[in-house]
Amino acid sequence: MWLVNFSTMATGSLSFGLFVIPMGGELGMSRGLLGWAVTARQLAAGISSFLVGRLIDRYGPRVLIPVSATIIGIALLAMSRVDSPWQVIAIFGLMGLTGLAAPQNIMTSVPVAKWFDRKKGLALALAVTGLGIGGVFFLPFTQWLLGSVGWRTTWVIMAVMFMAMSVPLSAIFLRRQPEDMGLETDGRRPAPGLAGRAGQAGPAVPEEVSWTVQEAFRTATMWKLLLAFALAGIAQGETSVHRIPY
């Protein structure tokens, strides 16, 4: 998951601001139109998140990440061929619909949460560091490519790098949830039928309470979290685009 998060920085999640001046100049796109590309990705990701969440629960990241990464890779290749503003906005919207390389990426966070319980916070933190380190790597690398080969070829290189890092490893190593491999969270083996010092059989006591979707949406906390993450995503997405050209 760390490498998948790292690779998403090749899709312009943070470095798109570097493309604003060269793309805007050649395509005749204003800063506002280029901002709408990022907005389209965020809106599409929000709309599709409910479906993506259900698909993750059913099929897991081993299926969804390679499929989504392939779609995004093809979209990035198409980005190198655009010749009008509406195409840029449409392609970014398509990338958002996949659920990968979107703000608050549930494609990589939900599977980690399924596999860890006792050290869930640490596991999520380690996976998310891929985003930060990816940004540190891809920002100067993207700038170097733009100055060397131009923005169209840069999108092609980014597409190849993204798919090469995310598709094969996800398809080979990732699994939906530990129960599919006969394990419990944190990699533990299931407890034997006879448990306790008295040797009496009994069901295992769950370590964490699980909420259904309906139960979660009946709480005020869920709606507060949705609002907080939505506002944070909007602010972060737009500033990341315009701060570099400015």
Domain spans, the chain: 2-186+211-242
Among 125-139, 171-185, 223-237, which stretch is predicted with the lowest mean pLDDT? Answer: 171-185
- Mean pLDDT over the full length of the chain: 84
Strands (E), the chain: 194-195, 200-201
Percent over 70 (pLDDT), the chain: 89
Return d(Cα 173, Cα 29) in angstroms, integer. Answer: 41
Q: Where are the alpha helices (DSSP H) in the chain?
A: 2-8, 20-27, 31-59, 61-79, 85-97, 106-115, 120-149, 151-173, 213-217, 220-242
Whole-number pLDDT of residue 103: 59
Does residue 230 register a pLDDT over 50? Answer: yes
Tell me, which fold does domain 2-186+211-242 have in CATH? Answer: Growth Hormone; Chain: A; (1.20.1250)
Average of per-residue pLDDT across 46-71: 87
Contact 34, 84 (CB under 8 A): no
pTM assigned to the model: 0.82
Q: What is the rounded distance in angstroms from the CA atom of residue 241 to the CA atom of residue 21?
A: 11
Q: Over 50: is that where the pLDDT of 201 sits?
A: no
Name the most confidently modeled range: 18-27, 111-120, 222-231. 18-27
Most trustworthy range by pLDDT among 32-41, 84-93, 166-175, 220-229:
84-93
Residue 194 pLDDT exceeds 60: no
